[in-house]
Structure formats: structure tokens, C-alpha cells
Amino acid sequence: MRTEEKGTKSRYGTVNFEKRKYPRFSVDLPVEYSHADVSADQGRAMNASEGGLLLYLPEQMGIGNHLRLKLFFTMGSELNAIETLVEVVWVDVHLGKDWGDYRTGVRFVEISTEEMGKLKSFLTSLSG
């Protein structure tokens, strides 16, 4: 005869602790991008940090692709734009034709000191 143990069962699993170098801020900002000298297209940045962006783009990008990117944002009553070169570091599955966008993670590859200063000021304004 088998005896069953009553009580709670131990659960095993994986815990994913994020180890980001820079804090991320939720945003919803327009971006303009181009790759391989093709005409510019538009997307949205959904979060931002000093290291990179989460973009929603209308087309799927390959990991390792480089994009010329212009990020638009306001500080006070002033419209600003940051121009940078980014690299695609991950791509999520397509969200479905009703969504029409691909979630794409990019990191900054080339960004001038002046442009990074603008981005840092903008992100600081979000945290306060």
C-alpha cells in the first residue's frame, strides 16, 4: 500500500534576474529609421535607456543589423531629436497582423557625446 505525502510540494524553476547596466524608462516616442541607405521608415520606441531602446517596427530586422535612427522627444515645450547608429540585438516574434509591429531590441553603437547628453537629460526628466 502506497502512502501519499500530504502538504506542499516543492517547486523548481528558473528565476530570471535582470542585470541591466542602465535603468529603463517606459516611453512612447516616434522614431525614424533607415538601413542599407534605403528610404526612411517609421516606428515607435516603447522604452529607453542610456544603453538602447525597445522599438516596435513595421518590418522584421535581423540580429546584427545596423540602423540609422532618429528618436524624437519633447523636453518642456522644445522638440528634440537624437540621431544615432544602433545594432539589433534581439527580435521578438511577430505580434500578429492586427498589431502590425515587430518588437526589436537595439543598442547604441555610435552616439555623439552631445546626443548622449540630450538623451541623459531626457531620461533624468522622466525619473523625477
- The domain tally of the chain equals 1
pLDDT digits (tens, 9 = 90+) for 12-56: 544 444 456 788 999 999 999 998 777 789 999 999 999 999 999
User: Is residue 115 helix, strand or coil?
Assistant: helix
Q: Is residue 105 part of a domain?
A: yes
pLDDT digits (tens, 9 = 90+) for 71-124: 999 988 889 999 999 999 999 866 555 556 889 999 999 999 999 999 999 999
Q: Is residue 9 part of a domain?
A: no
Please count the CA atoms within 13 angstroms of the CA of 108 that sit on its side-chain side.
Answer: 19
Q: Is residue 108 part of a domain?
A: yes
pLDDT digits (tens, 9 = 90+) for 58-72: 888 999 999 999 999
Q: Is residue 47 part of a domain?
A: yes
pLDDT attached to residue 35: 83
Q: Is residue 79 part of a domain?
A: yes
- C-alpha distances out from residue 4 to 9, 12, 89, 99, 109, Å: 12, 20, 49, 49, 58
Q: Is residue 37 part of a domain?
A: yes
Q: Is residue 13 part of a domain?
A: no
Write the CATH number for 35.
Answer: 2.40.10.220
Q: Is residue 2 part of a domain?
A: no
Q: What residue numbers bound the domain in which 81 lies?
A: 25-127
